[in-house]
Homo-oligomer: A and B are copies of this chain.
Amino acid sequence: MILYERPNGLRLFFALRGSILPRIAPSLLTCTLLAVVVTLSHGVLFQWKITLTPVPFSLIGLALAIFLGFRNSTAYDRYWEARGLWGQMVESSRTLARQWLSLVRPLEDSVPGRQRHGDFVRRCIAHAHLVRHQLRGSAPGAELARLIGPEEAAAAQRLRLPSEALLRRNAELLGEALAQGRVAPALAAEIDRSLAALTHAHAGCERLRGTPIPFAYMLLLHRTAYLYCFLLPFGLIDQLGFMTPFVVAIVAYTFFGLDALGDEIEQPFGLSAHHLPLDALCRIIEIDLLEALGEPAPAPLQAVDGCLH
């Protein structure tokens, strides 16, 4: 996620950092070059004058506006839903820690007993890290073994869904506390609901990751946008003359840019500059839960070069 301020004045037009421009440069260049060729040949292609006027573009523009508006809002809604689900990860982890520490009595009321009691909370931190790695397709590092011990870490990673195994282990701890009368059933039910909220947040992220916007939409949209931009110079040349390539470049920049940006943020779990800062969110969960345990916590992650991962 990019966090720096919007550049002012002329620098606005030359900022590349955080721009979608590099990604769409090839299409944009091809399109503009075509417009230059059309301008130089005055719209005559192989001795045929292409008889286009601006009219068809406003007709096709109708469908294109619907496509791009839909594309835009759908992609952003997915981005924001993903952010909301991670917000729920943060919130439910905090709530779970608070509930476990204040409403469940430790098995032994001693320093090592309370330490062991905190394993539940540390497993919540590990859960967030595991969900992050599953969403990014990366392998968890040493933090997992540090938080839940090497054995449980290894066992969990043999499964398709390691994070869920951690929740099951915490649910077993809850079941034991319940059987031993260390927590009242009504409050165990609350804690169980917080565990379910973590399952919910994770399943929601998986859903976003596994279900792209239907392919045929994208195909329809891309075809329309490309046809529109590549035909545009023929429609403008008679009116605009030498300004044609310039106008085509602006129009293509907005249409291709909007589309490429949608591609970026509709799957917001990656490591691109436009994706969600899952590392930083996991660190926040780690800090908050360690603070709840009264243990020393690391510092929040800082943006590097204006970008938080």
Tell me, rounded to whole Å, the shortest Cβ–Cβ distance linking A256 to chain B: 10
For residue A241, CB closer than 8 A to chain B, the reply is yes
A195–B65 contact, CB under 8 A?
no
- Which of A112-120, A137-145, A146-154, A284-292 sits within the interface? A284-292
A204 surroundings in chain B (CB, below 8 A): 87, 91
Report which of B20, B167, B184, B239 forms a contact with A185, defined as CB distance below 8 A: B184
A242 surroundings in chain B (CB, below 8 A): 51
Known: A186-B188, A214-B274, A226-B12. A99 touches B241 (CB 8 A): no
For residue A59, CB closer than 8 A to chain B, the reply is yes
A232 surroundings in chain B (CB, below 8 A): 59
A52 surroundings in chain B (CB, below 8 A): 240, 243, 247
Tell me, rounded to whole Å, the shortest Cβ–Cβ distance linking A134 to chain B: 13
Report which of B99, B222, B247 forms a contact with A12, defined as CB distance below 8 A: B222
For residue A29, CB closer than 8 A to chain B, the reply is no
Tell me, rounded to whole Å, the shortest Cβ–Cβ distance linking A253 to chain B: 8
A13 surroundings in chain B (CB, below 8 A): 223, 226
Contact with B along A260-295 (1 / 0, CB 8 A): 010011000000001010000000000110011000
Which B-chain residue is minimally distant from A228 (CB atoms)?
B250
A105 to B179, CA, bound (A): 10
A267 to B195, CA, bound (A): 31
For residue A103, CB closer than 8 A to chain B, the reply is yes
A90 surroundings in chain B (CB, below 8 A): 203, 206-207
A214 surroundings in chain B (CB, below 8 A): 1-2, 76, 79, 261, 265, 274
Interface residues of A (CB under 8 A from B): 1-4, 6, 12-13, 15, 18-20, 50-70, 72-74, 76, 79, 83-84, 87, 90-91, 94-95, 98-99, 101-103, 105, 159-161, 164-165, 167-168, 171-172, 174-175, 178-179, 184-190, 192-196, 199-200, 203-204, 206-207, 211-220, 222-224, 226-227, 232, 236, 239-243, 247, 250-251, 253-255, 257-258, 261, 264-265, 274, 276, 287-288, 291-292, 297, 300
22 contacts between A and B (CB under 8 A): A20-B220, A53-B240, A59-B247, A63-B254, A63-B255, A76-B213, A76-B214, A79-B214, A87-B203, A90-B206, A91-B203, A94-B203, A98-B195, A101-B171, A102-B168, A102-B172, A103-B188, A164-B291, A178-B187, A185-B187, A190-B193, A220-B261
